[in-house]
Structure 1
């Protein structure tokens, strides 16, 4: 197998991630950091199942009036049909389509950080474990802002004219608690050199974590990350993450000049973070409009690297 093109610093690749991963040599990559689709129908690229329903991508009357943040959500799980209940399994199968390729291209002992939605993260874990990965930890990214809409049950009854029920259920709500964190799943590929991770570090340069570097981003060496957006950051992608958040993960589990892979690159945040930290990168994105945005970001923020 021919090695993937490896420019001076890195590249943004337009294409399907599975096809592009096939071009990579085995044990070629030192770290994967990727904000994968969550499978919750947040946008057309996030619909990863084969059934449709009246609440998909904002097609129900209630969602039409819900505003941009909420109109793309699917039906609440307590209203799922039997077909809807297959969505979690289909998400797991979707992850399984590429998880084995992630495992193949990573060096032994290397890490993969996966942003996964709270609802289906367990399905992602199962698929990754089936591919050979071990779940090392689940980190929590504490979001600086979290949109929240939970309907007051008392108001539902009040609009029906049922004042007795409205008074009885005062303080109760329909919906979820405010989503203030997102899971970051930390997977590792089992190591094969010697008997310890120390041996693996000598041979492959991965396996341990850089606590000193991580402390520059977080006050404590803990698995809750409180890293917000820089001024003016955001607006390039619906699920865009802070550059410093990606930098913290990259520094935690890789070294300068090592290769960082993002198979779901979006607007290129992982690529920017990797380049700023003197890592080589391969960022794969199938949407041509986001590829253009990612390349423009690198041209504007890192002109000497392109």
Structure 2
């Protein structure tokens, strides 16, 4: 009877034969025979459930970042007569082999002992400051958990966020649309561009030489959504063939990856029916997927399916290369209960401001830059204004950019609004006159 090790692929990850994975840690770890035996027994009795983390170089070779001891355990089991199926692995982004070795320092395995005489980091010129981030070779201070009690009882920053007091409609006709492609609107300290987030030129203009600390965005769901209001609003790029939509997402997330700082987190709202495309595209762009959060709405959304939708998933993760930021306590869960807007007159999938403020508060600090590459109704920008973040937002549709401008002016009447058009900065008065001429947007 064949002795087969059961391998679980819980996340639908890519797989490769065991021999495809190469060692990178060299002399960094010393194997402990007792721990290795325990690991083999765990694999035999419970199956192999933990994917490798691997970096793929320019030649297509897979180098292990985390799982060196698991690989040794599997090789030993195979030598003992067990059959080992292909192993799932999580791709880890690294610019080169040096950066890949830094990732090894970040993933410090419990199944082996660090070799105090290792030459690995010296070989790749990785300095002590970098290693200190991972507590390698340094004393770890004992934490007094009594001092952490405020972390379990503090008021959440998003609790005081206000929703709109004014009802809006998008511009009813082209002659009431004040935004044009290429415009960059300066709303207080925020930047809102009418442009295409797939365009490196547009995203470069939006970021203005800066990098984002966090990305919170709500891409098209590819469900051909049409708003339920009398305006019957639609969304660009919301009805594509599967392959085209996958390509679209890869383009978007690759650009997003380029402008997000290492360690910068992201939150991506999406449709459950397109979850596979979103996850695969994020991984191909180089991002780590950590969790999936669920926005639970107070009422269902009527549709044609058997079960009416009352939730939206939101993927959470970060860009590898540095530790990600967590700015909240340990009580937050993956279930987010926020009432949906009573009207979606600005955008068909309009999000409540408080909903957008919640993850922003958790994964950034005041003064940091929050990127939204599918701004839509502008809820991310409105949230940033209220919790002291700086929003850099992109929206391809001029009518939604226009609606966001009027929405911002109504919510924050004392804030200056200026416009950069064709490389020329209009002053506050010129911009105000342009807005006043089209004062038909607010109903």
**2:195 matched to which residue of 1?**
15
1:40 maps onto 2:223 in alignment: yes
Say which of 267, 274, 294 aligns to 1:113.
267
CA distance in 1, matches of 2:278, 2:319: 15
| Structure 1 position 30, deviation (Å) | 0.5
Q: Which deviations, in whole Å up to 9, do the C-alpha atoms of 1:128-153 show, x marking residues without a partner?
A: 11010010110000022222356xxx
Match of 1:153 in 2: none
Q: Within the alignment, does 1:176 sit opposite 2:314 as a pair? A: no
Alignment of 1:13-92 (within 5 A): 13-19=193-199, 20-23=202-205, 24=207, 28-42=211-225, 43=234, 45-49=236-240, 87-92=241-246
Is residue 226 of structure 1 aligned with residue 337 of structure 2?
yes
Whole-angstrom CA distance in 1 between matches of 2:256 and 2:303: 36
What do the CA deviations read for 1:148-180 (whole angstroms, capped 9, x no partner)? 356xxxxxxxxxxxxxxxxxxxxxxxx431212
Classify the secondary structure of the residue corresponding to 1:108. strand
Question: Displacement of 1:227 after TM fit?
Answer: 1.0
CA contact (8 A) 2:185 2:192 kept: no
C-alpha distance in structure 2 between counterparts of 1:133 and 1:243, whole Å: 26
Gaps of at least 5 residues in structure 2 are 1-183, 226-233, 417-443
**Which of residues 173, 186, 193 in structure 1 aligns to 2:316?**
186
Provide the aligned length of Structure 1 versus Structure 2: 222
Q: Deviations over 1:101-152 (max 9, x none)?
A: 10110011111111111110221110111010010110000022222356xx
Query: How much does 1:7 deviate?
Result: 7.3
Question: What TM-score do the two structures reach when normalised by structure 2?
Answer: 0.47
* 1:27 and 1:106 in contact (8 A); partners too: no
Q: Does 1:208 align with 2:325?
A: yes
Deviation at 1:9, TM superposition (A): 1.1
Structure 2 SS opposite 1:176 = coil
TM-score by length of 1: 0.67
Asked whether the 8 Å contact 1:29–1:260 carries over to 2, the reply is yes
- Matches of residues 104-183 of structure 1 in structure 2 within 5 Å? 104-149=258-303, 175-183=305-313
User: Given the alignment, which residue of 407, 424, 427 partners 1:297?
Assistant: 407
State the 1:16 CA deviation. 1.4
- Residues 48 and 90 of structure 1 are in contact (CA less than 8 Å); yes or no, is this contact kept in structure 2? no
Q: Which residue of 1 aligns with 2:346?
A: 236
Q: 1:97 maps to what in 2? A: 251
Mark the CA change 1:286 to 1:265 in structure 2 (over 3 Å): closer, same or farther. Answer: same
Higher-Rg structure is 2
Q: Deviations over 1:220-275 (max 9, x none)?
A: 52101001146x66421110011000000110101101001111111111100011
Gaps of 5+ in 1: 50-86, 151-174, 198-206
1:41-87 superposed Cα distances (whole Å, 9 cap, x missing partner):
113514342xxxxxxxxxxxxxxxxxxxxxxxxxxxxxxxxxxxxx3
TM-fit CA distance, 1:8: 5.2
Q: Equivalents in 2 of 1:124, 1:274: separation in Å?
A: 25
SS in 2 for 1:256: coil
User: In structure 2, do the counterparts of structure 1 residues 104 and 141 end up closer, same or farther at CA, with 3 Å as the change threshold?
Assistant: same
Contact 2:289 2:317 in 1 (8 A): yes
Per the alignment, residue 368 of structure 2 pairs with: 258
**Distance between the aligned counterparts of 1:257 and 1:233, measured in 2?**
31
Tell me the C-alpha RMSD between the 2 structures: 2.3
Against the structure 1 CA distance between its residues 229 and 39, is the aligned structure 2 distance closer, same or farther, given a 3 Å change threshold? closer
Choose between structure 1 and 2 for higher RCO, CA contacts under 8 A separated by at least 6 residues.
Answer: 1
Residue of 273, 291, 299 corresponding to 2:383: 273
* 1:44–1:35 Cα change, 3 Å: closer
Indicate the SS of the match to 1:123: helix
